């Protein structure tokens, strides 16, 4: 083997190995996005189970707030539909609706001192607020994973491998800016 042949052969080996690394990297990025979504999904399911209990407790005290409670129940169902259909844009809208309806409910609760003093309600409110904060954090990670995936797919030479193997850009999970506020009533009356 001459030195020229070695250099040509070496370059081919390095190029093929680099393509394999790029391909595996794109798979890893896609899996990161899947994992980030699964981490949000598990919290959405948890909240889905907690919300009926919250609505049930509120019903006992808030006899004249039927529309508020209905809004929470409807938002819950919209989130569930979007989740199950893996509809990222729909989930963003449904989450915005959910956060707004919960925020409205918790504001209204201030007018019901007996409900505010109910220990089960307080525990549920606390759990749901914590879940909302964690969902917001994990949404950031999800969007960051999507950004990293989409950036790689647009970069050279990754774009060549991405196009050859049908790696596509993924959608961001967007909430309205105003809905990024934590779902609590603390601070509202300061």
Partner 1 sequence: MIESMMDGIRAFLVDLEPGTFDLYHIASIVLLLGSIPFGFHFIRHGRIMQDTPTSKIRSVSQGFVELQGKARSIGGKPLRSPGKSQDCVWYDYKVEERERSGSRDSWKTIIEDRSDNSFYVDDGSGVCAIDPNEAKLKPKTIETWKHDRYRCTEFRIDENEEIYCLGQFETEQGPSRDKVTKESTQAQLDSLKQNQQELLRQFDADGDGEIDIDEWNKAREAAKAKAQKMVGDYYEPTQHHFLLKPFNNKYPFIVSSYGQDELTSRYRFYSIGSFIVFFLSGALAITMTLIKLGN
Q: Which chain residues interact with partner 1 by CB under 8 A?
A: 1-3, 6-7, 10, 13-14, 17-18, 21, 25, 28-29, 32, 35-36, 39, 133-134, 137-138, 140-141, 144-145, 148, 152
Shorter beta-carbon distance to partner 1: residue 73 or 143: 143
Q: What is the DSSP string of 23-59?
A: HHHHHHHHHHHHHHHHHHHHHHHHHHHHHHHHHHHHH
Measured on CA atoms in the order 89, 90, 93, 96, is the torsion positive or negative? negative
Report, in Å, the least distance between residue 34 CB and partner 1. 12
Shorter beta-carbon distance to partner 1: residue 69 or 136: 136
Instruction: Quote the CA–CA distance of 77 and 170 in Å, as a whole number.
Output: 24
Report, in Å, the least distance between residue 161 CB and partner 1. 13
Shorter beta-carbon distance to partner 1: residue 6 or 165: 6
Instruction: Quote the CA–CA distance of 90 and 96 in Å, as a whole number.
Output: 10
């Amino acid at each position: 083997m001459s030195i020229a042949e070695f250099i040509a052969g070496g370059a081919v080996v390095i190029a093929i190995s680099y393509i394999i690394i790029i391909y595996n990297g794109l798979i890893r990025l896609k899996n990161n996005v899947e994992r980030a979504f699964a981490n949000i999904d598990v919290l959405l399911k948890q909240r889905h189970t907690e919300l009926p209990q919250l609505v049930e407790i509120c019903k006992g005290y808030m006899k004249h707030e039927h529309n508020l409670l209905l809004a929470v129940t409807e938002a819950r169902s919209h989130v569930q539909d979007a989740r199950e259909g893996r509809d990222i844009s729909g989930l963003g809208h449904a989450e915005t609706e959910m956060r707004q309806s919960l925020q409205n409910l918790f504001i209204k609760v201030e007018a019901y001192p007996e409900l505010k003093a109910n220990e089960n309600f307080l525990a549920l409110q606390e759990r749901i607020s914590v879940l909302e904060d964690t969902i917001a954090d994990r949404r950031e990670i999800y969007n960051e994973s999507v950004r990293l995936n989409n950036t790689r797919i647009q970069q050279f030479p990754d774009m060549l491998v991405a196009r050859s193997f049908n790696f596509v850009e993924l959608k961001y999970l967007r909430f309205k800016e105003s809905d990024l506020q934590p779902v609590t009533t603390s601070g509202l009356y300061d």
